[in-house]
């Protein structure tokens, strides 16, 4: 689809030697600077993510988790599960939480799990990089120590969480300034976080998991009743992960296996393959309805089965089986919304980005605190905001994703790669908590079924479901809204923009990289 240049919008960014697409321009620049200094896509990815942990602290941080996928020409895909586990200290158990009266983890202290991000950063550098952490973290340290101007979307999000940050002494100390959020354009610094990053840069990832940093985190949460202990940090390790995939109309879509929810996107694409999307208006009610119903079915599969891989009870291969998808597709009524289990509310509290280098190594990378500013618990010494990923555990007895000591919760963050003829065709992802599988399916179908370019696929209006309501972005046409209502959807408009997508497509025939970046964020794609 060609762009109408008389209308507002972005063009795809096209370059030859390297490309980065992130949610913040300083992170995109850090990645490109790293590539031009002789680093590869892995080095650039760590430079970008560390920078994002400084300049988008509400979205991500070193106290969170990380997943990545890497494609190298002529080599099998590699992936990494950098998610942390629940504490295994004395008394840690599902029964103990029930005895505390908890029916859900929510924002209790038990939502804090061991942060897996730093280990995952070290892992990608060890496996694929040319630089060490010292060099890769340099841009982030510069911004944390010397200051950076707050971007518009960052400022807009930040001021909505002042009260919650003020409730924690560490968060108030490091992330409020005279008790208020910074304004757009304010130059701010994080000296404690800079010192922490310097320690990690000098001593390596284990300095995060052993020694003063781990001790400080453990002490911070122990006073509040957490099961986390220093020993949980010391024994933490991420895991290499073999990607799972399905073929959608000739393109192999690769995701990471559980405990992530990438499987959900594959189930959804398998369902949609049974329908002629090309015949439907890409922004019309018919497409929106069909995709919503496919999503609700796929999320019902997720919420029933996905858990820590060691606790899964149904084989992944059975869940992404095409025959299984056909039985799910048969449940869809094209005329009206069906009664199905509801998924949790969507959000957008993560950073996703992608980098491709001159040798066509493609890195699909995602890092998260889960909620905005994570748990909003911050250590006073280190300036580290801690994840609340443990909130994704269920308290439903007997469920594979029920809380347990030393167990990983279901994870929403999912990087993706699209492969064709054994080569990477596209590296992409959509941040946005529960929304992410829906976002992956929307991008893939927009490009394959409607011929959209990478930027058009990102720009289109987003829609999802929240309980019994169908939630659409404000750019959705009145005709589409009315068409959804006639199909029994209770339509409301989203209070905030959803998610943020980044995509890089590799045009092997012409030798160029084509990237798109989400206008819902402050970021951009940069290439050279």
State whether residue 101 is helix, strand or coil.
coil
**Cα gap 461→217, rounded to integer Å:** 40
**Cα gap 195→190, rounded to integer Å:** 9
Helices (H) and strands (E) in the chain, counts: 20, 19
CA 156 to chain CA mean position, Å? 20
**Cα gap 370→392, rounded to integer Å:** 9
From residue 166, give the alpha-carbon distance in Å to each of 15, 20, 21, 81, 196.
44, 35, 33, 33, 22
Q: Is 350 a catalytic residue?
A: yes
Q: Which of 22, 264, 350, 394 is catalytic?
A: 350
State whether residue 430 is helix, strand or coil.
strand
CA torsion through residues 148, 152, 157, 161, sign: positive
In DSSP notation, 463-507 reads EEEETTEEEE-TTS-HHHHHHHHHTT-EEEE-SS---EEEEEEEE
Beta strands in 182-318 (DSSP E): 187-188, 239-241, 244-248, 251-255
Q: Which residues are catalytic?
A: 350
């Amino acid at each position: 689809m060609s762009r109408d240049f008389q209308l507002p919008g972005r063009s795809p960014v096209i370059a030859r030697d390297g490309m980065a697409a992130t949610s913040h321009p300083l992170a995109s620049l850090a990645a490109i600077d790293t590539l031009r200094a002789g680093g590869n896509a892995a080095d650039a990815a760590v430079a970008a993510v560390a920078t994002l942990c400084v300049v988008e602290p509400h979205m991500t941080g070193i106290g969170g988790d990380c997943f990545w996928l890497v494609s190298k020409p002529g080599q099998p895909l590699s992936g990494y599960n950098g998610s942390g586990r629940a504490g295994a200290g004395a008394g840690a158990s599902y029964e103990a939480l029930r005895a505390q009266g908890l029916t859900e983890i929510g924002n209790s202290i038990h939502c804090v799990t061991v942060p897996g991000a730093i280990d995952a950063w070290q892992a990608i550098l060890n496996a694929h990089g040319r630089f060490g952490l010292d060099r890769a973290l340099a841009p982030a340290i510069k911004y944390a120590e010397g200051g950076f101007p707050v971007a518009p979307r960052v400022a807009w999000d930040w001021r909505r969480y002042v009260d919650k940050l003020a409730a924690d002494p560490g968060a108030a100390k490091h992330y409020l300034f005279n008790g208020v959020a910074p304004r757009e354009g304010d130059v701010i610094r994080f000296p404690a976080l800079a010192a922490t990053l310097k320690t990690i840069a000098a001593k390596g990832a284990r300095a995060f998991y052993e020694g003063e940093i781990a001790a400080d985190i453990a002490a911070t949460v122990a006073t509040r009743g957490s099961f986390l202990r220093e020993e949980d940090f010391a024994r933490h390790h991420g895991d290499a992960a073999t990607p799972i995939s399905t073929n959608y109309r000739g393109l192999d879509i690769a995701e990471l296996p559980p405990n992530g929810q990438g499987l959900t996107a594959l189930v959804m694409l398998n369902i949609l393959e049974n329908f002629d999307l090309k015949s439907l208006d890409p922004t019309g009610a018919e497409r929106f309805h069909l995709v919503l119903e496919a999503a609700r079915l796929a999320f019902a599969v997720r919420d029933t089965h996905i858990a820590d891989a060691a606790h899964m009870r149904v084989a992944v291969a059975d869940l992404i089986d095409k025959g299984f998808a056909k039985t799910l597709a048969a449940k869809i009524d094209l005329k009206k919304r069906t009664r199905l289990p509801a998924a949790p509310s969507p959000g957008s509290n993560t950073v996703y980005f992608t980098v491709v280098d001159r040798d066509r190594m493609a890195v699909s990378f995602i890092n998260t605190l889960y909620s905005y500013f994570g748990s909003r618990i911050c250590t006073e010494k280190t300036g580290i905001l801690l994840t609340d990923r443990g909130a994704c555990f269920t308290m439903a007895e007997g469920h594979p994703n029920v809380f347990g000591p030393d167990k990983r919760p279901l994870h929403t963050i999912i990087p993706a790669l699209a492969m064709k003829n054994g080569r990477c065709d596209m590296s992409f992802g959509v941040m946005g908590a529960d929304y992410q599988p829906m976002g992956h399916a929307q991008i893939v179908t927009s490009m394959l079924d409607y011929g959209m370019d990478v930027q058009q696929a990102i720009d289109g209006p987003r829609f999802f479901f929240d309980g019994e309501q169908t939630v659409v972005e404000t750019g959705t046409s009145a005709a589409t809204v009315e068409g959804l209502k006639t199909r029994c959807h209770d339509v409301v408009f989203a209070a905030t923009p959803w998610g943020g997508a980044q995509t890089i497509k590799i045009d092997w025939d012409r030798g160029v990289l084509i990237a798109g970046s989400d206008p819902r964020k402050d970021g951009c794609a940069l290439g050279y």
